[in-house]
Amino acid sequence: MAAGGTGGHLFPGIAIAREIAKIDKSAEILFIVTRKYQDKMILMKEGFKYYALPTKGLVGKKAIEKLVFPIFLMLAVLQFLLIVTLKKPRAVVGTGGYASFVPLFVGILFRIPTLISEQDSYPGFTTRMLSRYVTQVHIAHRKAGLFLKAKKLYVTGNPIRNKIFDGTRAEAIDYFELSKTKKTVLILGGSHGARSINKVFSEIFKEHSFPGKQFILQTGDTDFNWVKESLQGAKAEVRILPFIEKMNLAYAAADLVFSRAGALATAEITATGIPSVLIPYPFAASGHQEENARRLERIGASVVLLDKNLSTDAVFDLINSFFSDTGRLEKMHNAAISSCKRNAAKKIATHVLSISRSGGSCVQKC
């Protein structure tokens, strides 16, 4: 399972792996990730074995990083060749991103059955480069297929973890120590946080009290201390966290969410039916976050607020307009729920096991 670099690529791999383990308890699942601390810690908590390769991204990097890229690429290829020799994998699964490139590339060279699960509306570099050579490609959104030349292409949906559906609102209120009577707004900048989002919300919480509303703000580790310090004596009621361990309970508590528009975030938000304001990361490769957000805006599940238009006035107006129109929130909830394919991870797991047993061709009805 070649995944990692970001939670948006790692957690879909974990979701698929969980379903593989349910279907075939004899299957051995090994993750190939980056050397990022977060990748290792998540997999240790999830209980999966892993190898960490010295992989580096290329798209959007500085000149010096591009210069040393071939060195890290060759080191990663050599290390994975050793893993292939030792483990003799029956299938290689990649969830997109640079962490998937080397395992998928080597798998293709050695004619090992290979499968890509692509979560974004606009496919990433790895998926675009390798789609025509892998055994199967599974996409979350039909539009992504327009950019690919795959031998076998399936519109399967985004693989999401079943655990995000665990927990009730009452449990969430207790866990975050929130009021039972107030509406809850969840603010997410991704697993590493988002400086522009943290800055605007820090300012708005000092200016406005928001009666009848409460907030959960995930800042990321880097921004946590200054955000916490700046909000001493804030007018609004805010729970500030560097990272939300129990995201399922954060979703269970939320009536509205402000979030970046990564594939994982948008998949989990729609699956849980939360009306959302999506703020695409402006420097995402090929603008894929804005494409993700625009797709949900078109179906009425979200409102897009571009980072360049992010301001205290814009956020204040949006929050007030949403909660003054409960019918609008209900329509957005229904649109979000209707757009989600909850069984995507199970479907992909079935395909993975099928190609691993058949050498590449899907011999059962997937």
User: Where along the chain do its domains lie?
Assistant: 7-160+342-358, 163-338
User: Angle 3-6-7 (CA atoms, 0-180°, nearest 5)?
Assistant: 85
The pLDDT of residue 320 is 94
Comparing 7-160+342-358 with 163-338, is the CATH topology the same?
A: yes
Q: Would you state the structure tokens that stand for residue 75, as one six-digit string?
A: 């080191």
Of the candidate CATH numbers 3.40.50.800, 1.10.630.10, 3.40.50.300, 3.40.50.2000, the domain formed by 7-160+342-358 belongs to 3.40.50.2000
Q: Which of 332, 258, 294, 257 is nearest to 121 (CA)?
A: 294
pTM of the model: 0.84
The torsion angle over the Cα atoms of residues 78, 79, 84 and 86, rounded to 10 degrees, is 120
The pLDDT of residue 71 is 82
Show the beta-strand stretches assigned E in the chain: 30-33, 49-52, 92-94, 114-118, 136-139, 153-155, 183-188, 213-218, 238-241, 256-259, 276-278, 302-304
Please count the residues of the chain: 366
The pLDDT of residue 233 is 86
Digitized pLDDT (tens) for each residue of the chain, 366 residues in all: 999 887 788 999 999 999 999 999 999 999 999 988 889 999 999 999 999 998 765 555 566 656 666 787 889 899 999 999 999 999 999 998 888 999 999 999 999 999 999 988 889 889 999 999 999 999 998 989 999 999 999 999 999 988 999 999 999 999 999 999 999 999 998 666 789 999 999 999 999 999 999 999 999 888 999 999 999 988 999 999 998 989 999 999 999 999 999 888 999 999 999 999 999 999 877 788 999 999 999 999 999 999 999 999 999 999 999 999 989 999 999 999 988 888 999 999 999 999 999 865 554 444
The pLDDT of residue 202 is 94
The pLDDT of residue 366 is 43
Q: Which helix (H) or strand (E) holds 17?
A: helix 7-23
Q: 163-338 has which fold? A: Rossmann fold (3.40.50)
The pLDDT of residue 5 is 80
